[in-house]
Chains A and B, each alone.
Chain A
């Protein structure tokens, strides 16, 4: 890939998503954009970039940004945060919210939906007493393409095989041809909406739990600080924040204090 083309893509992605692509990530750009070029009828990445240069922000620009920002995900990814959720976080919040019988959970950067669906299934499986509660899981992502897939609740065998307990497969999924689809009772717990973390956020309800995992790692320091500032205003005073394993609020926002629950790092407001 030509250096100038890489720099063009890097600047575009940086501007639209705040994700920083280091020069050594040019292999990543190639591996993500080659299928896109083919799909869109171009002979090479160079042709895609040439087309991008010819116009202002277009659908093609948007597709390139989405291709570069879609991240790997799986059900019960990392396991420990969900152990913490099951054993400590939800029991604590259920006790505190029993007068209002309401819980609000946000999965930011939800990708194809495995994280919010994991949360929904975990609630159904372990907290049947919440059946009469008003529980909403908001799941957002920058990419409308992944959200469309997420909304269907359809997953292929490879996705089902990864990290999902078989008891959950049997209880919460139905066969849909060669794929597996989550049952309506799980799908209806989640609202999927597009949201770009680095742009102005729409008005969101106060949240009891926020998952924003494995996305801040791509952002520069200033952007991380701005996002933590917004989460701080959104999270209820006794709420919980989950970050990815390699992420932390340390040296970025001292309003949060880290604690370890079930080997997972959990952040709470001071």
Chain B
């Protein structure tokens, strides 16, 4: 750390920062999302979780790109950077490398993070910087008023696809796993408790945390996830992934997922053929299993997996960078500019 930054980090925080409440994380700016937008819930859950992390807000940075979700930093009373389309992950990476001690958050959407910013996203995930990514997936372009997104379902009729979209959608969780992410989770805007738990786990994870949040856009794609969030359907359409527990679902928890070869299938626990012991038990440390679970996402007849697909440890990029610097300094001593300038073949003119 440079001398000047070091001086800043030694400053003691004002007393008000010491026992923060969710209110302390609310900025003075009016929130300007459409009334009824799923983003409100994500903002509220995030602000609720923040005080529990024990990190003072002046050491937190929220970085975003462009899109509805990307207005998020304006509403957080932390440091924030509302940048350009798709680049939040790259900006956050640079900031994290420069300042590994900061708590870094990227807020992005399905367009910002997976379309224009898809490249930076996959590279962040493989490098594994300690950055938390909240990807609001509403399966539509909201800010540009309703074009299909890279997660929109095939056949979707939008302003830019009047005859139905011919694009096949990304499966964000599978994409993240394919990019060697170390933490991949999915949660729902209408399940506050679950979201809070996931955000907290994401914050605690050392390495890049990829959290896909199913978020309702009530203006351009209303109800896209209602089957997973509304009372009368959700029990039969969602399976919650819990580490060490068998995959059961249904109102009476009378259905489960078992593996038939490598393929998950739904079985009934009522007819006596299968019992809980036959079911797939979730293990968030198992990379192979995580791919199988993520692959359930668009499969007909299977419930949508929600929860943590994978949470494993791998060296963190910015720490490796620091390690090389410390090693070089131990070996060669702190860089001396005068010595450097006078190094190599030199000669003197009298």
A and B together in one complex: no
Interface residues of A (CB under 8 A from B): none
Interface residues of B (CB under 8 A from A): none
